[in-house]
Every structure is written in C-alpha cells, then in structure tokens.
Amino acid sequence: MQVTRRKFFKICAGGMAGTSAAVLGFAPVNALAAPRAYKLLNTQEVRNTCTYCSVGCGMLLHSLGDTARNAKRKLFHIEGDPDHPVSRGALCPKGAGALDYVNSPNRLRYPEYRAPGSDKWVRLSWEEAYQRIAKLMKEDRDANFQEKNAAGVTVNRWLTTGMLAASAASNEAGLLTQKWARSLGMLALDNQARV
C-alpha cells in the first residue's frame, strides 16, 4: 500500500508508531529512495582563472563527458579553488555566475572582421586574424614612428596604436607584454590590472 508523505504523518499522529507503520507497509516511497550520487563524481576538473576582473580569482571547472571521440564535453559546474593563493576558494557573484557566459549561445568563439562601411561580420581563422593585425600594425608603425620630437630630442615613440592587455594575466605575462609593447615604441598600453 502506498501513501503520501503527508498522509503517512497523519497516520503516525493518530497513534500508530512510525516503525509499526513501516512494518505494515505504510512507508512512503520517498523514504525508501536511495541517496543521490555526488554530482561531481566522474567529472573532469580543470583549474583556471576568472577572466572578469583584475583580482584574478582561481576557479575549478568541472565538465561531463570523457575524452572519447564520440563524447562531447560540457562544462556544468564552477566553484572557487580553495588552493588558489589569491582568492582561497572565494568567488564574487560575477565569477560564481561564469557558467552562464561560458555556455552562452551568444559567446564569441572565433575572430570576426567587419569591413569599413559594412554591416556584416565575417568569420576569420586565428591565423588570418594574426596576419591581419601584424600587417596593420607594421603599416601604421612604418608611417607614424617618431625618432625625434620637434626639438630634435630622441624619443623613439609610436603614438598611433595602443594595446589593451588581458586582466587575468600573471605578473610575469604582464611584464613580458609591457616589454614587448615598449620595445616597439608604443606608449598607449593599458591593462585592467594596471601592469
């Protein structure tokens, strides 16, 4: 005989002991259900850094699906990394909600280019994007690099192109970025972490 949970408690309150009720077959179905398996069992865990701001909190990313050829991996859980020296397991609401933008159908996954005057974005390969950026930077630098200022003082500067670096870069990556940009004479360089 099956009864609802509410009815089960009514029966018990009416004077019948719960154990006796179970013996008589009045136990509700839910009470006999097996415990749920821990949801992070059998997931693949990857450590990463939150990309939202310059704090650079550590994350643990869990995905389902192994690396078999016919299995598609999907990220389904993100939490703070307790071993991370910066955040020690904490994430602010933006970082804790990162799962939504990682899986968003609107997420940009490849370079796109919109020609001047066009209203259409065209997909590029990463190689094409790198080539195009390098070509445009060289053309601009060749045309605008200044060795000396109006007073004849050596300045070796390039003021017509700037660079915005990633906020989640480590100190070492930030230092290399700074050195690379400065070696070209570039002065307009910024980073959310203020390298």
Q: Spell out, one character per residue from 35 to 54, where the chain touches ligand SF4: x when CB under 6 A holds, - when not.
A: ---------------x-xx-
Is residue 8 within 8 A of residue 28, CB to CB? The reply is yes
Is residue 98 within 8 A of residue 59, CB to CB? The reply is yes
- Rounded Cα distance between 164 and 136, Å, is 16
Strands 186-191 and 154-165: parallel
**Per CB under 6 A, 58 contacts ligand SF4:** no
Using CB under 6 A, pick the residue from 5, 73, 94, 114 that binds ligand SF4.
94
Decide whether 43 or 87 has the Cβ nearer to ligand SF4. 87
Phi, psi of 161 (to 5 degrees): -130, 140
Is residue 54 within 8 A of residue 192, CB to CB? The reply is yes
Is residue 93 within 8 A of residue 82, CB to CB? The reply is no
* Least separation in angstroms between CB 6 and ligand SF4: 43
Using CB under 6 A, pick the residue from 21, 60, 78, 91 that binds ligand SF4.
91
**Per CB under 6 A, 99 contacts ligand SF4:** no
Closest alpha carbon to 163 in 192, 141, 195, 188: 188
Using CB under 6 A, pick the residue from 21, 95, 181, 186 that binds ligand SF4.
95
* Least separation in angstroms between CB 57 and ligand SF4: 3
Decide whether 21 or 57 has the Cβ nearer to ligand SF4. 57
Decide whether 56 or 165 has the Cβ nearer to ligand SF4. 56
Is residue 83 within 8 A of residue 96, CB to CB? The reply is no
Closest alpha carbon to 163 in 127, 130, 191, 194: 191
* Least separation in angstroms between CB 96 and ligand SF4: 7
- Residues in contact with ligand SF4 by CB under 6 A are 50, 52-53, 55-57, 87, 91-92, 94-95
